[in-house]
Amino acid sequence: MPRTDGRTPDQLRKIDYVLDVAPHAAGSVLIAFGNTRVICTACINEEVPRWMKVQNVKGGWLTAEYSMLPYSTLERKDRESSRGRPDGRSTEIQRLIGRSLRAVVDLEKLGARTLCVDCDVLQADGGTRTAAITGACIAVAVAFNRLLEKGKITQQPLKKKIAAVSVGIVKGETLLDLCYTEDAAADVDSNIVLTEHGEFVEIQGSGEEATFTEAQLHSMLEYGRKGIKELIAIQDAAITSAMKPAQSKDLQNLASFFGKR
């Protein structure tokens, strides 16, 4: 089955990123999976939640928030603040992001601090949660490296990197990194989160009014592993680049980023 953008079944969309798009955050990145674009930031609060103090829990905490900006979809989406609370989908995704990152962060090494991760979708074209997890890991790694540089922590809290990708079955064929039209037509939709060593952090998968076989499950896992291996390499390049001396970034790089889409 030919894909709308000409990719092969096991090919990721074009992955782009711009670092330090939020200067007041400890680490930030604008990441794009094709036409899906998400700003991911990591901010450090020098305190822990009250429940940790009450229960005398050592170390720090990591929390995540996810939102889709009003103009991220074809039809304007109401701000969640106007409804008084996040919808069920946003709550589920931000819990997924938080769980995924806590699986690979040593919170005791963070010290008595809270790492706040924010993922804001600028444009949605499928795979916003997987782009958010992949970008958030970059932002968190950069934030930790800068804490180490400043001497605020003495050990690296990030035990290993994680990345995420969507895989689905569309008209009987396994496809990696679904765009919106593919996702909408999928018989089976899954999201896979793996560490850089290929360990599973989370697998979400369900048939959309359909069933799937064990062989199809294995094919989705195989494609997911391939895609995540490529995403980890992109993360490595981004994290290394962030620790180099100051470069011409910000507006100039953002203009270039949007210009080449």
- Was 135 annotated as part of a binding site? no
Report the number of distinct structural domains present in the chain.
Answer: 1
Tokens, residue 243: 């620790």
Instruction: Give, in order, the Cα–Cα distances in Å from 190 to each of 5, 129, 160, 179, 194.
Output: 20, 11, 23, 13, 13
Q: Which helix (H) or strand (E) holds 170?
A: strand 162-170
Instruction: Look at residue 251 and tell me if it is in a domain.
Output: no
Q: Is the CB of residue 143 less than 8 Å from the CB of residue 115? A: yes
The tokens 């103090």 sit on which residue?
53
Tokens, residue 215: 């062989």
- Was 129 annotated as part of a binding site? yes
Tokens, residue 230: 């490529």
List the CATH number of the domain containing 194: 3.30.230.70
Q: Which pLDDT belongs to residue 51?
A: 95
Instruction: Look at residue 8 and tell me if it is in a domain.
Output: no
pLDDT, tens digit, 9 for 90 and up, residues 153-201: 999 999 999 999 999 999 999 999 999 999 999 999 999 999 999 999 9
CA R_g for the chain:
18
Enumerate the β-bridge partners of residue 166.
191
Question: Which is nearest to 193 in space by CA: 185, 204, 208?
Answer: 204
Range of the domain at 48: 15-242
Q: pLDDT (tens digit, 0 to 9) for every residue of the chain, 261 residues total?
A: 679 889 999 999 999 999 999 999 999 999 999 999 999 999 999 999 999 999 999 999 999 999 999 889 888 988 876 676 778 889 999 999 999 999 999 999 999 999 999 999 999 999 999 999 999 999 999 999 999 999 999 999 999 999 999 999 999 999 999 999 999 999 999 999 999 999 999 999 999 889 999 999 999 999 999 999 999 999 999 999 998 875 544 555 665 666 655
Instruction: Look at residue 176 and tell me if it is in a domain.
Output: yes
Instruction: Look at residue 10 and tell me if it is in a domain.
Output: no
Tokens, residue 179: 């765009």
Q: Is the CB of residue 40 less than 8 Å from the CB of residue 132? A: yes
- Was 227 annotated as part of a binding site? no
- Was 134 annotated as part of a binding site? no
Instruction: Look at residue 256 and tell me if it is in a domain.
Output: no
Instruction: Look at residue 249 and tell me if it is in a domain.
Output: no
Q: Which pLDDT belongs to residue 248?
A: 44
Sign of CA dihedral 12, 18, 21, 23: positive
Burial class (CB within 10 angstroms; exposed 0-12, middle 13-18, buried 19+) of 253: middle
Helices (H) and strands (E) in the chain, counts: 8, 9
Instruction: Look at residue 250 and tell me if it is in a domain.
Output: no
Instruction: Look at residue 45 and tell me if it is in a domain.
Output: yes
